[in-house]
Structures are given as C-alpha cells and as structure tokens.
Homo-oligomer: A and B are copies of this chain.
Amino acid sequence: MRDVKPVKVVLLGAGTVGSQVARVFLEQSAEFESRSGRPLELVGIAVRDLEKERPGIDKALLTNDPMGLVTRGDIDIVVEVIGGLEPARGLILAAVKHGASVVTANKALLAEYGDVIFRAAEASGVDVYYEAAVAGAIPIIRPLRESLVGDEITAVTGIVNGTTNYILEQMTSHGVAYGDVLLEAQKLGYAEADPTADVEGFDAAAKAAILASLAFHSQVRLTDVSREGITSVTDGDIAAAADMDCVVKLLARCELSESGTISIGVHPTMISNKHPLAGINGAQNAIFIESRYAGELMFMGPGAGGAPTASAVLGDVVTAARNRVRGTFAPGGSAYLTRGITPAQEERSRYFVSLLVDDEPGVLAQVAAVFAGRGVSLQAVRQGEDASGLARLNVVTHVARNGDVVQTIADLEQLSRVHAGIKIMRVEGA
C-alpha cells in the first residue's frame, strides 16, 4: 500500500473530447505520476446519460450530479469539457470556491467570463489552465503566458477554425461553390448539422478574444470582436485572390493600434501565398505572432479532434497536478491593463474591392477619383471583361481606415456606371 495521497481528478462531460481524456488518462497514469510527483486518480465523471455504454470506463465513476462532484471538497482538479456558458460557468466557479484547480477547453466561457474566473481562482489560490480552448493541441497559451512575457506582442493572426479552413481549401483546390462543399463537409462529419458557430466565425471570434487578452494584457470579450463569416465567399473571390497570388482564409487577427487600443476581428481575408499562413490546409490550425523583439513566430498543428484535444487537456492536468504537489499555482490571466477596442471605422487594413462597371471610356478615372476623394490610395488595379459584357475592376488599396473604405463604397454605389454588388475583402501579406 502507498502512503502517498493521490491527486484527485474529476471529469465533467464524456463526449468526444471527454471520453478521449478518460482513455488517455488511464493509459498514461504511470507516466503522469512520474511527471507530477504523485499518483493521479480519476475519481468521478459527470455525464448526462448514466445508462449509455462507455467502453473502458468503470460505471461506478459515473454520476449525473456534476455540482455534487465539484463541491465534494476533496477534489484537486476539475476538468470541464462540457462546453457552453451554463452550467459550465457555475460549476467552474463552485469548483474554484471549493479549492479545486480547473482545466477547461471552453473557449466561449473564457471569452465571456475569463476575467471573473481568473480572479476567483487567484483568490482561492488555484490554477486555471485552458491550452485546449484555442487551436487544439498547438501549445499557444503557455508561449503567450510565459515564454513571450518578456517581449511586446504587436499582432496575432490565426487560422483557428478547421471547418472553415477545410471548406475554403476545397473551394480553392476544386473550384466548388460554398454550398456544395458545406454539404459534403457535413456528410463527412467535418461540419456540424448547424454550422453557424463555425461558418459565421463565432468559434474563431471566441478564440481571438482569448488570444488578444493574453497578448495585450487586457480582457477582450467575444462582443468586442468584429466578425464576418465565410458564407458570402464566392468562387469569384477565390479566383480573384489566385489572380493576385493569394488564397482566401478565414483569419482571426488582433493587433495593437498606434494609440494602444486593440483591433480585433475575424474576416475572410486574401493572404499572399508567400505568407506562411497561406500553406495551412485542411483541419490544421496555425498561429502567427508578430513581436517587437522576437520578430515573427508561427505555431502549427492539428486544431481539433478528440486525441489532440485530450493531449492539450492532459498537459494542463499534469501541470496543475505538479503545481498541487509543489503547493503552488500559476496566474490564469494577465489582464493588468484596460485597453479600449478600436472602433470598426478606425480599423486599418489593406482592402480588395471588386466592381462591375460599364465598359466605357472614363469609368476607371471616375472610380479612381472616388477612392482619391476619400483619401484611400490604390496599390493595384486590374481591369478585365466579365461574362455579362460589362467590365470587372479589381482594386487593392494600400493600408486604409475602414471608415474611409466604407464611405468610398457608398460613394461608388451612387455612380450610374457602377453596377450593384460591390465586393470587398481584407488583404494580408506582402
């Protein structure tokens, strides 16, 4: 018999991620003991359905009373993989109050209540780790929280949603329309029956908020993120991007403005094929960091899936267990500043603008004059024929205020020789 007190772990949720966490936990328990300094014991799993068959999991561990589990008082670590705001928020705060450290993969919760949870954890002297909440198995939270804490991060750009990245890649490589690829992705299980959270950019926006909060030391919420999904991306946009040696990606981007506010948004973006993010395909995720001293860094890897997410969750569990054994805990957040959010119209970017115009002399001059009138300077202009017999004008601007570009579009819409349906998209990379 050992006289060493084990580190007691409970698991909330046993879906795709939860069941993998339980499986790997049992497979690796001897290793985890060596790495943390004490045996780790899984003492309970909260599930919705007690009757469901769960191969490899002892039925005696199951309960449908998660609140009872986290408030037992003898729990060291609570792993929350239920997702969503409630009951996850209430359970985590109760766990923290009862002295348990928390490991969560819940991006929506952290993007909304991160500051509340970190403050509660600090007050109770417990850990909150959440490596799995952003970019699956890619270690990004610790690099931001610790490795780069001696630097000044100026921008973080990520491909953080595998579903939309897969859809855009299929549209690009096979010339298939958005709707068809979505149907196929749903059939293959790459997209949910209700794909809103992915395709409208909510999932990416929550992750962007978490990254920005860490990078810029100021709590950013989901509602701070300007958000645009991929549902209106057309094959025409993708062809226009290819024409400029770019690809269309759904980028989550946050950067520090010159005045110290945080510009943060999720937008379909044309990105140069020379940029390392352009090559990130399929269900892969990647995070590209720009910093004052370290320069440019990129991290890439699998962004989702049961086993990669379990890897990230269990890295946190072992770290939290190690901290328990050493009688310490780490700060969850780093939001010691209160920065403003850059208003939408003050955001700065390069833009692609595509217009259908009458194929007549003088139209280009007239269009160019509208841009100039709003102070938006042009980097490149391409004119081509459209199938309809009209001319297609594709314009790329230099870095411009979003408000000025929006005004330019409104002005252009007034011109009789410019047809309805002006298309606009952000541009990143050389």
Give A contacts to B, CB under 8 Å. 24, 28, 31-32, 34-35, 131, 136-139, 141-143, 146-152, 217, 276, 279, 291, 293-302, 305, 307-308, 310-319, 322-323, 326-329, 331, 334, 336-337
Contacts and interface: CB of A to CB of B under 8 A. Distances in A.
A226 B305 CA distance: 36
Of A142, A152, A326, A337, chain B has the most CB atoms within 10 Å of the CB of A142
Given A139-B143, A139-B148, A326-B328, A311 B336 contact: no
Given A28-B152, A295-B301, A312 B147 contact: yes
A402 to B, nearest CB: 29
Contacts of A337: 34
Nearest to A20: B293
Contacts of A302: 294-297
Nearest to A310: B293
A12 to B, nearest CB: 17
A41 to B, nearest CB: 15
A93 B319 CA distance: 26
Contact of A34 (B217, B276, B293, B310): B217
A252 to B, nearest CB: 19
Minimum-distance CB pairs A-B, first 8:
A150-B314, A139-B147, A137-B294, A328-B328, A297-B301, A139-B143, A293-B311, A294-B311
A142 B294 CA distance: 16
B150 A317 contact: yes
Contacts of A314: 150-151, 293
Contact of A300 (B28, B151, B276, B334): B276
A298 B295 contact: no
Nearest to A148: B315
A293 to B, nearest CB: 4
A141 B146 CA distance: 11
Nearest to A286: B298
B28 A318 contact: no
A307 B294 contact: yes
Nearest to A36: B149
Contact of A331 (B276, B322, B334): B322
Nearest to A276: B300
Given A143-B142, A217-B34, A299 B296 contact: no
Contact of A150 (B147, B291, B313, B327): B313
A59 B180 CA distance: 70
B35 A334 contact: yes
Given A137-B294, A301-B296, A24 B150 contact: yes
Given A34-B217, A147-B131, A24 B298 contact: no
Contacts of A315: 146-151
A128 to B, nearest CB: 14
Contact of A139 (B35, B142, B295, B334): B142
